[in-house]
Chain A
Amino acid sequence: MAQTNLGIEPQTLKAIYGEMARIRAVDTAIQAGLSAGKFTFTYWPMTGQECIPATISQLITSRDYMVTTYRGIHDQVAKGVDLVGMFAEALGREGGVNKGKGGSPHISDPSSGSMVTTAIVGAGTPIANGLAIAAKERGEDRVTIVNFGDGATSIGAVHEAMNLAGIWKLPVIFLCQNNQWGEYTPVPEYTASPDFAVRAQALGFAGHVLDGNDPVTFHAAMKDVIASVRRGDGPVFVEARTYRLGLHAGVGDNKSVTKEELAVHKARAPFDNTKALLISAGICDAEELVKIEAAAKAEVEAAIAKAMESNPTPESETIIDVFADSDCVPRRGHYPIRSAEGDLPGERKTMSMVEAIRDAQHIAMTKNPEVFILGEDVGDPPGGVFGTNKGLQDEFGPNRVRPTPIAEQAIIGAALGASIAGMRPIAEIMFTDFFGVCLDQIANHAAKQRYMSGSATHAPMTIRVQTGGGVGGFGAQHSQSTEAWLLHTPGIKVVYPSNPLDAKGLLLSAIDDPDPVVMLESMKLLFTQKAEVPLGDYRIPLGVASTKREGTDISLISYGWQVQQCLEAAEVLAKEGVSAEVIDLRSLVPIDYCRILDSVKKTGRALVVHAAVEFCGLGAEICSTINEELWGKLKSPAIRFGAEYAPMAYSSVIEASQVPSAKSIVARVLAAVKH
C-alpha cells in the first residue's frame, strides 16, 4: 500500500524520479563518452542537482519560459528539449537544435520554452525580465524561470535584474541553484551574506531558502511559488540548496573537497534518496525502478547514436545566422547593391533631430502595439534627458514608455528578452559611454543570440544612444565615440545619422529590422540642426550611403556629426580648386561598399573621416578595402582621419583639436592631393 501522508502525490514523486533518471542517464552517458574518448566537448557536470529541474518540470509546461546556464543540461532535459537535438548540439553537429553553432552552453529551443542559455555568469537574469515583460504585456499566464548558480549572486547583472523585476512586479522566478561552489571557491569565501534569499527581501520581494535535494518539500514550496508568480503577484527568489558532486568542468568527482566531505554530500544527493523513498513509501518496487532507469538509458543511448550520425556543421554555415540576411555581413569582395529610399512623402515639417526621433517612435508605437520604449527618465514630463520621447508616455501609458532604474544591464537585458519573445523594444541609453556597463548584454548576448541559436531565436531590438563629442565640456566619460566597439562585434547593426530626415527614416527601419540595431544620436546634432522632414512613415534602408555633395578630385567619406565638418571642408576646398565629393555612410553595418567604391573609382582619392579614435577605427577598415579593390586606379592611397589616440579632454582647446574639424580636414586633403 502506498503511504498517503508523504506530502506529495505518489504519481508526482514517481514522475519526478522519472525525470531525475533521464537526467542521470544523460549525465552518465556524457561522462562515459567523454572519458572513453568517444567524443570531446566541454562539459559542466550537474551531478547532484537533478532534483531541482526534475521537480519543477511537474509544475510548468513548455509554454513557460526558461533561461539557464552552461551547467544546465539537467534543466534542458527536464524542460523537454529534444535529446537528439541537444546531443547533436553539444557535439557541434548540423542536426543540433541550434545547428551546432551554440553548443551545450547556448541551447535555445523555443519549442520547449528553453529560450536562452548563457555562459556568462549571471547574465541570464536581465534577459529573463524581458521574457517576463512580454508575457505580462500580452496578458499570458506564462512564468519565466531563470536558473543561475550561487556564484552568480555576486555579479551586478543579477542585482540589477532583481531590482527591476521587483519594481515592475514581473512574473519571473530567480532560481539560484546553490551548489555551494563558484568554480573552485566555496560560498563562505566570497560572501558574508548568511544566505542569498535575503537579497530579494532587501529589494522588496519574497526570497525563500529551500532544500533542492528533497523532491517532497521542494515540490510543495515551488508549487506555491509558481502559483503566486503566475497569478501576477510579482517575482520570487528561490535559493535551492544542493551540492556540486562533480568537477567545475570535465569528468569525475569534485576535487576541491576531501573524499570524506564529498561522501557526506553524496549521501545527501537526491537520486538514490528519492529512489529509496519511492520504495519505502510503497510507491514503486525495485523492479519498476530498474525499468524506469533502463528506459531512460535506452532513450539516451538511442539519442546519442542518432546525434552522432549527424555531420559536423560545415564551413559553409560560417556567416549564415549572423544576421537574418547574410548580405548584411561585411565580406571582402562582396559588395551588394542595395536600393536607395526612392521618393519620400511630399508633405514636410521643420524638425530638429530630437523631434524627428520622437516622430519616428510615435509612428512605430501607433502602428505596432508591441513597440515599447524603456530607459532612464524616458517618461514624461522630461521624455528622456534630451526629450526624444516627450509626450509619448502621456499618450501611450506607463507600460509602453517605461522609465527604468539606473541600471543599463537591466535595460538592455529587458529589451533583449522581450525581443526574443517577439516584441519590438526600443532601449534608450543616455550616453554611449555607458555601453561600458552593459556591453555584455549588447555584445555577448544581443549580438550573438541569432548566431548561437542557429536562428532558432533572434533579437529584433533597437538601442538608441546619445553620443557626446563636438559640444565641449562633457569630459572623457561623456564625449567619446564608441562605434568601433560595436563594429567589431559580429551580429549588431549600427546606424549613425547626420541629419533629422535620415534619423527618422533610419530609426523606423531599425525598429522593424529583424536584428538588433544601435542608432547613435549625436548630441551636437540633436538640437542644432533643423530640417524639412517628411511627415508620416518612410524608411531609409540600412546599408545605403548617400552622396551629400558631388565632386571629382577626392571622396570624403564620413558619418554622424563629422559629415557636417566634411561639407564645410568641401566648401573651403572648392575655393582652393579641389572638388570634393562627400559621402554620408548613414549605416555602418551593413556598410555600403558599393557606393563607397563607386565614388572613389570616380575621384581616384579617398579620405575617411570620423570623430572616433583613428587607430583601429572604421576609417582604417574602409581604406584597406579601397586600397585593395582599387589598387592601380587610385591617384593616391586612401587615407583616414580620426581622433588622436587619447581620451576626450575636458579642456575645450584640446577637445577641439583632438578630433577632425573642417580646418584640419582641409589640411589633410590638401596634403593628399599634392601627393
Chain B
Amino acid sequence: MAITLTIPKLEMSMSEGTLAEWIVADGAEVKTGDFIYILETDKTAREVESPSDGILRHKAPAGETYDVGTEIGEIV
C-alpha cells in the first residue's frame, strides 16, 4: 500500500512548513528511517525520516512553503 507523505504537524502551533530540500531523489529506493527531506519551520530545520520501505515519489518541488497536511510525495 502506498504511503502518502504530507507536511507534518510537529507542534500544535505549526500551520505550515518549508520543504527545504529533497535528500533522496525522485524514484530512488528508501528504507524506513532514512532521511528523505529537510523540513524547515519558523523554529527549526529537521531531517524527516521515511516511514516505510519503498520507492520515493516527489509530488511537490523543494524550496516552497506548504500548509500542514499538503501532500508532497508518496512511498510506493
Contact = CB atoms under 8 A, between A and B. Distances in A.
Contact of A34 (B1, B3, B8, B50): B8
B69 A250 contact: no
A305 B1 CA distance: 9
A623 interface: no
B49 A249 contact: no
Given A32-B49, A32-B51, A33-B51, A38 B12 contact: no
A250 B48 contact: no
A247 B9 CA distance: 13
Interface in B8-66: 8-12, 14, 46, 48-51
Contact of B51 (A38, A247, A249, A251): A38
A40 B51 contact: no
Contacts of A308: 1
A37 B6 contact: yes
Interface of A: 32-38, 40, 42, 247, 249-252, 305, 308
B11 A37 contact: no
A364 B46 CA distance: 63
Contact of A40 (B8, B11, B46, B72): B8
B68 interface: yes
A250 B51 CA distance: 17
Given A35-B48, A40-B68, A40-B69, 15 more contacts: A34-B8, A34-B10, A35-B8, A35-B46, A36-B3, A36-B8, A37-B4, A37-B6, A37-B69, A38-B3, A42-B9, A249-B12, A250-B9, A250-B12, A251-B8
Contacts of A33: 51
B12 to A, nearest CB: 5
B5 interface: yes
A250 B44 CA distance: 14
A38 B49 CA distance: 11
Contacts of A305: 1
Q: Give the interface centre of A35, A37, A38, A250 by most chain B CB atoms within 10 Å.
A: A37
Contacts of A40: 6, 8-9, 68-69
A308 B4 CA distance: 12
A305 B46 CA distance: 26
Interface residues of B, number: 20
A251 B10 contact: yes
Given A249-B11, A250-B11, A250-B12, A36 B69 contact: no
A42 B8 contact: no
A247 B11 contact: yes
A252 B10 contact: yes
A36 B4 CA distance: 9
Nearest to A38: B51
A35 B49 contact: yes
B55 to A, nearest CB: 15
Nearest to B9: A40
The 5 lowest CB-CB distance pairs between A and B, nearest first, are: A37-B6, A250-B11, A36-B51, A37-B8, A38-B51
Contacts of B50: 36
A35 B10 contact: yes
Contacts of B48: 35-37
A305 B2 CA distance: 11
A38 B4 contact: yes
A229 to B, nearest CB: 36
A304 B63 CA distance: 31
Contacts of A32: 49, 51
Given A38-B51, A40-B68, A250 B3 contact: no
